Structure 1
């Protein structure tokens, strides 16, 4: 547990430093969505293994975010609702960090995804950052699905 938190802290610091470098994270993807500051890799061309804790929590995060996207896009989510969603996502990430047991290399890759999810939560809970934060979380969840072996994972659409 301590090691997972230490690794997550290191990943957060690394991503923060990368974002502070001129142009490191300023590039935007389609529709003005943020580009990933750090690129994930596959495990020698294969998706990284997962465990039940990870699959359950990530599936729940995915479903909650998916259900929230229409009201977020329509501006119908209040600041309190966004805060509640963000807090809930944070709790799920904390649960994964404390309970997920992956090999070290897979764990390091996972923490890149989790850091981006938490970045999205922070943006989403900020003033006027609803759609930008949601886009960051969607991007992280889709990257998770592309890089981790999670049967029946469905990517999220975000326009």
Structure 2
């Protein structure tokens, strides 16, 4: 514990520590605290985002390696194979999002409409996950798309208070387009930007 210097009261000591004017030792502790606390906060936030993606796909394990890639990529330059339930589910999600993009960007969707749309998209995602019959590598790539869709629907539903619903809908639209760019779905039509 730091003892007050002669002639300094405990209250003066507390004020000095609080205003970072006491000693080099206190200044060093304060500097370390100013660096360490934000660094730990960033680490916790980053870990939390990863845990969110993992939690969204929990229970949907096909035995593939938990060290699956965390970047969406092609299958050696080719699109990943799909199955009928995946194609049907993604088409439904695309068709839910497409008619809402322009209205969303014009500020014409209210919170209730975003919530309703998020719920319908989440229902389709649940159907895709329940009926998944992809090879493990393709499945791992699909989980990245699903994680982005789920982050988008969380923002749309007001669960993510740091993101506006319109940005959530945009995230879902981008994830749907990423699906089309990385998965073999002959009938897929990309979504327009909506701006």
Which of the five TM-score ranges fits, normalised by the shorter chain? 0.7 to 0.9
Give the gaps of 5 or more residues in structure 1.
1-12, 20-37
Match of 2:184 in 1: 149
Q: 1:42 Cα deviation (Å)?
A: 0.6
> Counterpart of 2:76 in 1: which secondary structure?
coil
TM-score in terms of structure 1 length? 0.74
- Which of 81, 86, 91 in structure 2 is aligned with 1:54? 86
Structure 1 ranges of 4+ moved more than 6 A: none
For the aligned residue pairs, the C-alpha RMSD in angstroms reads 2.1
Task: Work out the number of aligned pairs and report it.
Answer: 129
Give a deviation string over 1:65-115, Cα, whole Å, max 9, x none. 001112211222121111010001001001100012101110010010001
- 2:170 maps to 1:132: no
Find 1:17's aligned residue among 34, 45, 50: 50
Could you say which residue in structure 1 is the equivalent of 2:119?
Answer: 87
Structure showing greater relative contact order (alpha-carbon pairs closer than 8 Å, 6 or more residues apart): 1
| Cα distance in 1 for residues equivalent to 2:48 and 2:73 | 15
CA radius of gyration, larger in: 2
Give unpaired runs (5+ residues) of structure 2.
Answer: 1-45, 53-69
Q: TM-score, normalised by structure 2?
A: 0.61
